[in-house]
Structure 1
């Protein structure tokens, strides 16, 4: 059967591939979208509990907080500065422990 030179049948394969890629992209966008497009409120973010001059001191405070069952992390915004951050629900307990911590 001869192929008609004016036919556009050679575009069918690439068109199907482009449509499939677009559908996969839309599915992935839907599947990995966040629960809400609204920005998180300030209450959901980590809160600084102490600012220390040495990272070793911040690690020691973090160990004390961990022993008390408080999740924390360290942020180093500048040289010779380390912030210890906790979740808002643990802030009061963490502050009490940080005040009794002598590793500044």
Structure 2
């Protein structure tokens, strides 16, 4: 009889360790219920300036090719569905806006 009770100790430790691991994993990799989410559009772009907003990523890539041909470095982001922003450095913003205004996809 003591042998059955003695085997219960290691099993209890194993069950407690697995339960603890499950709780830690749930906390670390959970869905984040109750956490605040980032806004869809950041308040500022950092070092970059928004020069154009288009409806499709392919159009943004075409505009970026035009900007690249003019020697202007650019990037794009898609903050929402059917919306893609093209951003450049502030020194190139005026030229990029004029090229974007004359751009037709």
Determine if the TM-score, normalized by the shorter chain, exceeds 0.5.
Answer: yes
* Aligned residues: CA RMSD: 1.7
Segments of 5+ residues of structure 2 without an aligned counterpart are 1-43
The Cα offsets for residues 11-37 of structure 1, whole Å up to 9 and x where unpaired, read as xxxxxxxxxxxxxxxxxxxxxxxxxxx
Segments of 5+ residues of structure 1 without an aligned counterpart are 1-41
Alignment TM-score, normalising by the size of structure 2: 0.56
1:45 is displaced (CA, Å) by: 1.1
Alignment TM-score, normalising by the size of structure 1: 0.56
The list of structure 1 runs, each at least 4 consecutive aligned residues, that deviate by more than 3 angstroms after superposition, is none
1:55 is displaced (CA, Å) by: 0.6
The Cα offsets for residues 32-86 of structure 1, whole Å up to 9 and x where unpaired, read as xxxxxxxxxx7x6100100000110000000000000000000100111100000
Aligned to 2:96: 94
Q: How many residues align?
A: 62
